[in-house]
Amino acid sequence: MTTETSAAKKPVVRVERKYEGVPEDLWYLWTTKEGFESWWGPEGFRVEVHKLDLRVGGELIYDMIAVDPEQIEWLRKSNMPVSHGTRGKFVEVVPLQRLGISHMIDFIPGLKPYENQMFVEFLPEGSSVRMVVTVEEHTTQEWTRMAVQGFESQLTRVPAALAARRAARSK
């Protein structure tokens, strides 16, 4: 993870991972209901996608649901819902290369709702793909830290999701 400032002078966090496979498989994980549900959300959470309209301006609507007892307890103690609806929209779609999503962050007690943009690039490198994710920092350092920690947690789920995708494709 690195922190930098974009051309628009908004601080961003950059996370990179390399996965064995092809861009099509990672693209599938980010751009389909089944793919997104297979890995999105940190450990202890799952998501249910209600709408995924893959086009610039298209909506991404899903519920983030805590399933781990420790996560549920922490959320309740923090006066946060155990499940919350999440709304986003696609702001950039370049098939198999780059994807931009703007999420509405409106579930944090005491903070005014705000938009947070995330961009992901898929860069083929031989038999693997380097995935570069750039996310705007949140309105507080604490929420930026927790968001990065959560995102890095959910990235640990990508290899299993990719293996399941390859297995399904080979049938």
Residue 108 pLDDT > 80: no
3-state SS, 102-131, equals EEEECCCCCCCCEEEEEEEEEEEECCEEEE
8-61 tens-digit pLDDT: 567 899 999 999 989 999 999 999 999 999 999 988 899 999 999 999 999 999
User: What predicted TM-score, i.e. pTM, was given to this entire model?
Assistant: 0.86
What structural domains and CATH numbers belong to the chain? 2-169 (3.30.530.20)
